[in-house]
Structure 1
Amino acid sequence: MRPRIPRQPAVDHGPNHVDIEGRLTDELASVVAGARRRALRDGDRQIDTAHLLHTLLESDPQVRAVFDGPQVARLLGYLVQRSIGYGLRWRIGVEDAGAVPGAPGTPGWSPAAARSMTQAYDRAVRRGERLAHGVDLLAVLVGAAGSRAVEVLGNVGVDAGVVARRIARAGEERTEAYVVGGETGG
Structure 2
Amino acid sequence: MQNRTPRIPEQPAPNHPELDARFTDELAAVLSGARRRALRDGDRQIDTAHLLHSLIEADPEVREAFDGGPQLARVLGYLVQRSIGYGLRWQGSVEDSGTVPVVRDPAADGCWSPAALAALYRAASRGEDRAAGLDLLAALAADAESRAVEVLARGGVDARWLAGRVAGVLTTEESRRG
Structure 1 residues 98-143: Cα deviation after superposition (integer angstroms, max 9, x where no partner):
13256875121001111111110001xx2xx211100000000000
Normalized per residue, the structure richer in helix is 1
TM-score (norm 1): 0.83
Larger radius of gyration: 1
Q: 1:7 to 1:48 in 2, by over 3 A?
A: farther
- Which stretch shows the higher mean deviation, 102-111 or 29-38? 102-111
Unaligned runs of 5+ in 1: 180-186
| 2:120 aligned partner | 117
Aligned pair 1:19/2:18, yes or no? yes
Q: How many residues align?
A: 174
**Equivalents in 2 of 1:54, 1:90: separation in Å?**
15
**Equivalents in 2 of 1:37, 1:132: separation in Å?**
21
Q: Is the 8 A contact 1:7 1:45 kept in 2?
A: no
Question: Alpha carbon RMSD of aligned pairs, Å?
Answer: 2.5
| 2:89 aligned partner | 89
**Equivalents in 1 of 2:35, 2:177: separation in Å?**
35
Deviation for aligned residue 1:75 = 0.9
TM-score (norm 2): 0.86
Q: Is the 8 A contact 1:6 1:45 kept in 2?
A: no
Unaligned runs of 5+ in 2: none
**Equivalents in 2 of 1:145, 1:7: separation in Å?**
33
